[in-house]
Amino acid sequence: MNFLIVSLIKAGVVAFVLMTTLAYLQWIERKVIAHIQLRVGPYRVGPHGLLQPLADVIKLITKEGFIPSHVNLFFYMLAPFLAVTLSLISISVIPFGPEIEVAGVKTWLQLTDLNIGVLFVLGISSVGVYGVALAGWASNNKYSLLGGLRSSAQMISYELPLALTVAAPLLMLNTLSFREIVNGQAGYLGGWLARWTIFQLPFPQIFLGFPLFLICSFAETNRVPFDLPEAENELVAGFHTEYSSMKFASFFMAEYANMVTVTCVATLLFLGGWTPPFPAPYSNVIPIVLFAIGGLAALYAGINPARPKDRFTLPVAGLVFLGLAAAFAASHLVPALETVLMALFWFCGKVLALLFLFIWIRGTLPRFRYDQLMRFAWTFMFPMAMLNLLVTSIMVALFPKP
């Protein structure tokens, strides 16, 4: 009974946080891209456009859901449902932090731990292509069909190097469960360098494994420079051309959920999950210092505001940041709370940094041509992934763990 209640609470919290993240990720993306292109981005709804996601959600819900004629109605409706369901399932095996104890109940900051967690995520992501492919086919539109075809070919091609690069850290850590994967990366080399798989001996994955994984994950989530399924200058909007209202929003949500999942997996497999980059007494100071600097900078900017509204919004943001810094500092008095806060800080920090990288690249790189994309997958990514796996397995065999 206890287990059921705890699981329900955890599922509710994770679902709420994930949905909020998805909505605000879109705001972050628009803001970051806008600043890369020297614009301000969303600014009108709420301070600095902070209520824009809410307005977007209301708009998308109340819009008319238009269904074109001659579509295959069953598959047309099934496709967005499949896309969003399959993209949300994977989050259930992602651990966000260590085991905690609240009011005598011990629980992990994770919905469920499978001992084949990595395989589960791979399986779900390989089935995830059906949403896009079916949407393209069922829409009865040539552009949509081309988008769906492109996306299925692209996802099959990049699934192979993705699986091969994932196998390399698994060889080093000797497990498939995400919990064990993070435990295997705890500790420090020589007392200061984190034993994350990108640094871990015998073969650090930072040379080949991690970059390859990132490139494959761009392709798997259909993001720039691999967003050919929705290349707007060739295919109108690709596979979701004929979708509107909440059905369109489902595809949007699926894309962002996939991004969050893939960055979480990258964090867990390569960046050590919630373990800090250097030993605890020193790394615990970092969030306090970061939040304090952010808060003070916002306060200073609020004293000399560039725009009249900033006289109010920036000091408020500064106070929030200072409050966070104070909360982290205060948690030092309660060791149990400090562990949880630090774990969440490092996990969210790494995931957000990777998400920022995704957005940054979208604002920087042009799109591949289709033949370039395929040649890149088969003649560069696949051999390099094989090489990485080969070298890693030879090194693991030569230098077994004591």
Partner 1 sequence: MWSAIIFLVFAFVAVVAAINLVVQTHPISSALSLIGVMGSLAVLYLLLGAEFIAAAQLVVYAGAIMVLFVFVIMLLNAGAENAKPIGSRAKYFGLPLLIAFLGIMSFVVQAVIPGGNNVVFGEYHAGPRDVGKALFTDYLLPFEVVSVLILIAIIGAIVLARKEID
Residue by residue, what is the 3-state secondary structure of 194-245? ECCCCCCCCCCCCCCHHHHHHHHHHHHCCCCCCCHHHCHHHHCCHHHCCCCH
**Minimum distance, C-beta of residue 249 to partner 1, in the bound complex (Å):** 24
Number of residues that bind partner 1 (CB under 8 A): 28
**Minimum distance, C-beta of residue 253 to partner 1, in the bound complex (Å):** 22
Whether the link from the prior residue into 225 is cis, omega within 30° of 0, is: yes
Amino acid at 120: F
Q: Are 199 and 391 in contact (CB under 8 A)?
A: no
Phi, psi angles (nearest 5°) of residue 98: -80, -175
Q: Interface with partner 1 includes 370 (CB under 8 A)?
A: no
Give the separation between CA 32 and CA 124, rounded to whole angstroms. Answer: 30
**Minimum distance, C-beta of residue 67 to partner 1, in the bound complex (Å):** 19
Comparing CB distances to partner 1, the nearer of 124 and 265 is 124
Comparing CB distances to partner 1, the nearer of 163 and 246 is 163
Q: Interface with partner 1 includes 139 (CB under 8 A)?
A: no
Q: Interface with partner 1 includes 115 (CB under 8 A)?
A: yes
Pick the piece of the chain touching partner 1 (CB under 8 A) from 11-19, 52-60, 134-142, 267-275: 134-142
Q: How many CA atoms lie within 13 A of 61 on its CB side?
A: 6
Q: Interface with partner 1 includes 263 (CB under 8 A)?
A: no
Comparing CB distances to partner 1, the nearer of 3 and 335 is 3
CB-based burial, 202-234: b 16+ in 10 Å, e otherwise: ebbbeebbbebbbbbbbbbbbbbbbbbbbbeee
Tell me how crowded residue 63 is: count the other CB atoms within 10 A of its CB. 13
Comparing CB distances to partner 1, the nearer of 115 and 364 is 115
Q: Which of 25, 83, 88, 122 binds partner 1 (CB under 8 A)?
A: 122
Question: Which own/partner contact pairs does 373-377 have at CB distance under 8 Å and 24+ positions apart?
Answer: 373/154, 373/219, 373/226, 373/228, 374/153, 374/154, 374/157, 377/154, 377/157, 377/158, 377/161, 377/219
User: Nearest to residue 351, comparing CAs of 105, 96, 156?
Assistant: 96
Residues across the chain: 402
Q: Interface with partner 1 includes 382 (CB under 8 A)?
A: no
Q: Interface with partner 1 includes 310 (CB under 8 A)?
A: no
Q: Which of 23, 50, 55, 119 binds partner 1 (CB under 8 A)?
A: 119
Q: Interface with partner 1 includes 136 (CB under 8 A)?
A: yes
Give the separation between CA 241 and CA 235, rounded to whole angstroms. Answer: 8
**Minimum distance, C-beta of residue 300 to partner 1, in the bound complex (Å):** 53
Amino acid at 143: Y
Give the separation between CA 131 and CA 113, rounded to whole angstroms. Answer: 26
Q: Which of 43, 108, 130, 188 binds partner 1 (CB under 8 A)?
A: 130
Comparing CB distances to partner 1, the nearer of 139 and 275 is 139
3-state secondary structure of 109: strand
Q: How many CA atoms lie within 13 A of 304 on its CB side?
A: 3
Q: Which of 94, 129, 212, 253 binds partner 1 (CB under 8 A)?
A: 129
Q: Which of 11, 61, 105, 116 binds partner 1 (CB under 8 A)?
A: 116
Q: Are 331 and 3 in contact (CB under 8 A)?
A: no
Pick the piece of the chain touching partner 1 (CB under 8 A) from 30-38, 120-128, 244-252, 387-395: 120-128
Q: Which of 27, 76, 96, 120 binds partner 1 (CB under 8 A)?
A: 120
**Minimum distance, C-beta of residue 369 to partner 1, in the bound complex (Å):** 20
Residues 39-78 that bind partner 1 (CB under 8 A): 72, 75
Comparing CB distances to partner 1, the nearer of 161 and 295 is 161
Pick the piece of the chain touching partner 1 (CB under 8 A) from 109-117, 329-337, 367-375, 380-388: 109-117
Dig out the tokens for 60 from the structure.
Answer: 């998308």
**Minimum distance, C-beta of residue 220 to partner 1, in the bound complex (Å):** 12
Q: Interface with partner 1 includes 224 (CB under 8 A)?
A: no
Residues 146-205 that bind partner 1 (CB under 8 A): 148-149, 152-153, 155-156, 159, 163, 176
| List of residues contacting partner 1 (CB under 8 A) | 72, 75, 114-116, 119-120, 122-124, 126-127, 129-130, 133-134, 136-137, 145, 148-149, 152-153, 155-156, 159, 163, 176
